Structure 1
Amino acid sequence: MKFSASAAAAIIISLVFIASSSSDAKADLRLCNKTESQVGVAIGYREKADWVTEGWWNLPANSCETLVPGRLVSRYYYIYAVDYDQFGEWGGRAYMCTREKEFTIQGIEDCVARGYERTGFFEIDTGEQSSWTVQLTEPVQEGTGGR
């Protein structure tokens, strides 16, 4: 099962801004795995003049993890996730470098020539908020009717 970018944008991914009424509330980029599967997550972001990709966070079913601790300094972040149990993925059209084992990679150009995989990430627009949560959910099954 592979989830398309449009399905990911429309069905699979719920983006939730965490509002806070307290000035000392914790600000982070968090990802919640709302599926019944274990999920592996990689993130891409701009750091000064270069792009960086990092992975893997392994999230058990129905759990959350902080990917970027503290106040968010970028408006755009990029996520790629793999469903280890159902063999699906959440991806998009923003291509960045990854590898199978734990990684931190500087730059997103010439991934294959540098010995990495070229992987499509989906974009998160935080709207310059200081805190953001991404929720990965099960896809809606097409062709099934409600009873």
Structure 2
Amino acid sequence: MSALLLAVAATTFTAQPARAELRLCNKTESQVGVAIGYREDTEWVTEGWWNLPANSCETLVTGALVSRYYYIYAVDYDQFGEWGGRAFMCTREKEFTINGIEDCVARGFERTGFFEIDTGEQSSWTVQLTEPVQGGTGGR
């Protein structure tokens, strides 16, 4: 299977009041499920699932971004691909809000690898999930 690509872009707004948020845009032709992880005060929190239809966007965090780093895991329901990384956090199959990222399996959750988004000092950020690589390299 070809690797899935991720495009990340900071968004700035001009000529309007600044909107502060973390948005995710599904730029694929598939339905995508998204989970997010972030630090809230002194504790890690993971939340999911946002189900985004093909070629749509969703606001995951409203208001000014209080953390510099956010973590995202996404699943392509139609092509069975995923966007993940090395930051392990807790998830589950059904809708969830989980406090803490330690001992996921022992607490009855799945241990899932999220990718990191460094928003810098921006108050708004948009993440774009893009189509699988189309390059003639017959993937598995």
TM range (shorter): over 0.9
Q: CA RMSD in A?
A: 1.4
2:93 aligned with 1:78: no
Q: Distance in 1 between matches of 2:49 and 2:93?
A: 8
Q: In the alignment, what sits opposite 1:53? A: 46
Q: Distance in 1 between matches of 2:9 and 2:65?
A: 15
TM score, norm. by length of structure 1: 0.89
Unaligned runs of 5+ in 1: none
Unaligned runs of 5+ in 2: none
Check whether the contact 2:10–2:125 (CA below 8 A) recurs between aligned residues: yes
Closer, same or farther in 2 for the Cα pair 1:46/1:108, shift >3 Å?
A: same
Divergent runs of 4+, >4 A: none
Q: In the alignment, what sits opposite 1:117? A: 110
2:61 aligned with 1:68: yes
Greater fraction helix: 1
- How many percent of aligned residue pairs carry the same amino acid? 80
Q: In the alignment, what sits opposite 1:88? A: 81
Residue 64 of structure 2 aligns to a residue whose secondary structure is coil
Greater fraction strand: 2
Give the Å deviation of 1:25. 2.1
Check whether the contact 1:33–1:39 (CA below 8 A) recurs between aligned residues: yes
